[in-house]
Amino acid sequence: MSDAPGAWHQQNQRQITAALAALRAWLEQRLEARSDAKAVEGGPPRLGLPPEAPSPGFVSRLDQVTQAFRLSPFERSVLLLCAGVELEASFSSLLAKAQGDARRTLPTFGLALSLLPDAHWSALGPSAPLRRWRLVVLGEGESLVQSPLRIDERVLHHLVGLTERELLLEGVIEPVEGDSEVVPSQQPLVERLAETWSTPSPAVPVMCGGDRIQRRSIAMEAARRQGMAIHRLRPTSLPTSAQDVTSLQRLWEREALLLDSVLVLEWPEGEVPELQRAAAGLVDMLRCPLVISATEAPPLPGRASIHLPVSSPRAEESLLLWRRHLGEAATGLEGPLNAITSQFHLGPLSIRSACGEALATTGATLPLDRALWVACRTQSRPRLDDLAQRIDGSASWEDLVLPAPQLQLLRELATQVRHRARVHDAWGFAERSSRGLGLSALFSGPSGTGKTMAAEVLAAELSLDLYRIDLSQVVSKYIGETEKNLRRIFDAADEAGVILLFDEADALFGKRSEVRDSHDRYANLEVSYLLQRMEAYRGLAILTTNFKSALDVAFMRRLRFVVQFPFPDAEQRQELWRRAFPKRTPLSALDYPRLARVNMAGGNIRNIALNAAFIAASEERAVGMGHLLRATRMEYAKLEKPLTDAEVAGWT
C-alpha cells in the first residue's frame, strides 16, 4: 500500500460512506415505490462507487471482505445494511418505517429479501458466508426470516479501517512482529514455503529442526514475500475440548481472511498428548494458509504434510553475519569470531541480538571478544533452560582434591574441548565421518568424591554453561517419548555448545537387557539412540555413576574419557578439610590430622563444615573443633552410620 496510513483511512472512509449513501438511496426509493405502488425504474443506484476515484491498487475494506468471503451482491448489501444501522442513525428510522414499527430498527433476512436487489434464499443458509463466518449474528425471533440481524463487532471494526483483533483469540493466537533475517542457505526453504501458500493444496507444510526462532523467521520472510500478515498459535493455550477446538478453527479462519494472514502453529512439545491431539484436530479442520513449526515432524493422521527441514546457518554464513552486525568493531577479531562460530550455532536473529548486547556492555573491564562470548551464552540459554537445570558453579582447579593422574585426565579433556574445531574442521577429521567426534566422559566413583564439582571446574575453565539432566524428566513411560526428550536436549545443546551432565547415568545407561518383551526392546532402543546422539554431539557430555560396573561394555567403548574418582585417603581428607572453609571464615585452632580420621568423602566434609559454621555463628564464636564435632554427629546421623570414638578422639 503506497498511501500513507492517514490517506488510506480517508479513502476507505469515502468508499464506505459512498456505499452507504447509495444503499440508503435505494432503500428510500424502494419504500417510496412501495407506498406509491410503483415499480422502481432504472435499476438500483450504483452501490459503493465513491465520489472520487481511489488511488491505483487501493482496495477498500468493504471490497476486501466481499472478495475474501466470496459474497454475492445480495450478501454484500445485507452486510452493508447491518453496518449502516451501527454507523448512521438514518438507517434505523428507514428500517422502522419499512417494518411499520418504531421499535423494529434492525434488519431481518425477510426484509432484505423484499427490499434488496439480486436477493436469493441461499444467502440464509448456515453454510453460506454470512452465517458460516459469523459476519452477521442472528438474534432471537419467531422464525429465521424474522430474526433481527446485527453485524459482528469485529467485522464492523474491520470495515471502518480499525486494526482491532478478535478478542476471543487473545492469549491463544497473537501477531508475530519484528524483523526477520534469513541466510542464503535458507532462502530455498522460504521460496518453497511461500509456494505452498500460493498454490491451494490439502497438504500442510511442516518446518522441523533448527530452533523455534529460526523457523519463525523463515515463516515471516515467506509471508512477507506473499504480502501476508503472520500470526502464531501459542501451544500452551490450545483448548483441548473438541467443541472449543472447532470454535477456535471457525474464529481463526475468519480472522485469517479478514487480515490475509498465515498461521504458524507451534507444535506442543513434551508429554502433552491431550494438547497434541487438539493440535492435530485443529490442523485437520483448518483450510487456510498454515505452517507447523516443530522440533520434529508430528503425526498428522488427517492431513498430508510437506516436510521442510530447517538447518542452522553454515559456518561461513555465520561469520558474515557476525562481521555485518559488528561493523568496524569486527576488525582484529578474526580468531575470536572463528572460535565463537565453532562453539555456538546461533540463528541470524540470535547473532544480531548477541552483537547488540556485546557492543552495549563492552568496556575497559570486559573486552569485546569476551563480551561476545558471554552474549552467546546468554542467547543460547532460553531453549535449554526449559529442558534441563543450569548449574552456576564457581569451583576452580584449586577446589579439586584428586590424585595427579585424574587431574591430568581432566586437563586433557579441557584441552580437547578447546581445540576440537582445529582438529575436526581445519585438520579434516570431521570430513571422514561425524561419528566418534563427540566428546564424552564418564566420571565414576562413590557419592561425594567430586564428580559434579569436576564438571563445574571444566565449565568454568572453558567459559561454558553446565546443564544437569534430570533423568526422571527424560525417561518416559510412553513409547518413543524418551527419544524425543533426548533429541530436544541434544538439539538445544548443539546450538549452545554447553556441557551436558547426566547425573547418576546408570539409571538410564545400565546394561542393556535381553529382549524378553516389548518393554525390553524399547528400553534398548532408548540406550541405542542415546549412544548415537552422543557420538554425533560436538559438545561435551559427562556421565556420572556410582557404579561403573553397571554400565554396558558397548557403551563404555564409545566413551572418550573415563575418570575414576577414588574415595579420599587420609592425606586427601586432610586437604579437603583445609579447603572446606572460605578464607574469610574465622577458625579456632583446627586440628586437620585429627579431622582427617573421619572416614568421609569430600561432599560430606563440605556439609559438616557448613553446619559447623552455622553453629559457631549462632554462638558468635570462631569455628572450633567442638562445633565440628556436633556437625559431624549430625552428618553421621543423617547417613545412619555409627561414629566411633576412635574417629573423634581428642577433638575436644
Q: How confident is the model at residue 101 (pLDDT cuts 50, 70, 90)?
A: confident
Question: Is pLDDT at 392 greater than 60 in this prediction?
Answer: yes
Per-residue pLDDT at 551: 67
Q: Pairing state of beta strands 136-138 and 389-391?
A: unpaired
Whether 73 is in a domain gets the answer yes
Instruction: Determine the pLDDT at residue 42.
Output: 47
Do residue 32 and residue 139 come from a single domain? Answer: yes
pLDDT above 80: residue 92: yes
> Is the confidence at residue 516, as pLDDT, over 50?
no
- In this structure, the answer to whether residues 600 and 627 fall within a common structural domain is yes
**Rounded CA separation 179/172 (Å):** 22
Least confident among 322-326, 490-494, 540-544: 490-494
Average pLDDT, the chain: 85
Q: For residue 391, is it within any domain?
A: no
Same structural domain, 249 and 135: no
Q: Is the pLDDT at 618 greater than 90, yes or no?
A: yes
**Taking the model in full, what pTM does it have?**
0.73
Distances (CA, A) of 365 to 339, 355, 362, 452: 21, 18, 8, 30
Q: How many domains does the chain have?
A: 5
Q: Where residue 591 sits, what CATH number does that domain have?
A: 1.10.8.60
Q: In what order do the strands lie in the sheet with 540-545?
A: 389-391, 466-469, 499-502, 540-545, 439-444, 561-564
Let me know whether 13 and 78 are in one domain. yes
Tens-place pLDDT, residues 548-603: 766 666 677 778 888 999 999 999 999 999 999 988 999 998 999 999 998 889 99
- Asked if residue 621 and residue 530 are part of one domain, the reply reads no
10 Å Cβ neighbour count for 21? 19
Residues 515 and 438 in one domain: yes
- In DSSP notation, 432-478 reads H-STT-SEEEEEESSTTSSHHHHHHHHHHHHT--EEEE-HHHH--SS
- pLDDT computed for residue 538 by the predictor: 77
pLDDT tens-digit profile of 466-514?
999 876 667 665 556 777 778 888 888 887 789 999 887 766 655 444 4
Q: Are residues 556 and 421 in the same domain?
A: yes
Parent domain of 262? 167-309
Residue 369 pLDDT > 80: yes
DSSP 3-state percent helix, strand, coil across the chain (nearest 5): 55, 10, 35
Confidence of residue 84 (pLDDT cuts 50, 70, 90): very high
Mean pLDDT score, 171-190: 89
Residue after which a domain boundary falls, among 386, 409, 435: 386
- 317 contacts 341 by C-beta, under 8 angstroms: no
d(CA 8, CA 14): 10
pLDDT digits (tens, 9 = 90+) for 271-285: 688 898 999 999 999
Write down the pLDDT at residue 158. 94
The predicted pLDDT at position 539 comes to 84
Are residues 120 and 185 both part of a single domain?
no
In 146-195, beta strands by DSSP E? 149-151, 173-175
Asked if residue 177 lies in contact with residue 163, where contact means CB atoms within 8 angstroms, the answer is: no
